[in-house]
Amino acid sequence: MESTPWEVESSKISDSYVAGFLDGDGSIVAVLEHRPERRRFSYRVRLKVSFTQHIRHRNLLVKLRSFLGDLGSIRNIPSRNLCEFIVQNREGLRQVLTRLLPFIVLKERQAKTALAIIAIYDGAKVNLTGIFSVFSEDGVVYNPPEQYCVRTAGSISRRGTGKLQEKV
């Protein structure tokens, strides 16, 4: 594909440029996914960072991917004339968000939340309770869905109470 005259050169791409690009045309997403085939933990949090552009600017996304260490993948969405650079694996997300966090302005809270979720996944065997607390203002989970009766070290969520109770 041909480059447009105003498209950035590879040598001029920096962490601050990519962070600004993420703030403007990117997204940091956390989705709660239901997996009914899993009996014990049928829900999980799926994280992703994505940059979306018109398909004629795919070359820019290729440059961003290369700059970030060839993490993630680029996919075309022909029905909408778009292409998307996506980073979904946990280690790739950690690298990208840690690298860009000092320069992110508008999506700083989302980046910190995603990094907190990754840290919870890394540090716990059973981790949904900790993930819910990331989204809670005071760190206490109120009214978790009934199917989340999750046991972790030192605490148990009891059905019907809507609040985490400490084990005695």
The residues assigned a catalytic role are 24-25
| Structure-derived torsion over alpha carbons of residues 55, 60, 61, 67, reported in degrees to the nearest 10 | 170
Inter-CA distances, 167 with 36, 46, 53, 56, Å: 29, 29, 50, 57
CA angle at 50 for the pair 57 and 122, rounded to the nearest 5°: 150
- Residue from 115, 61, 67 nearest 84 by CA: 61
User: Crossing angle of helices 90-100/108-123, nearest 10°?
Assistant: 140
Q: What are phi and psi of 8, to 5 degrees?
A: -70, 145
Residue 117 contacts residue 30 (beta carbons within 8 Å):
yes
CA 100 to mean position of chain CA atoms: 13
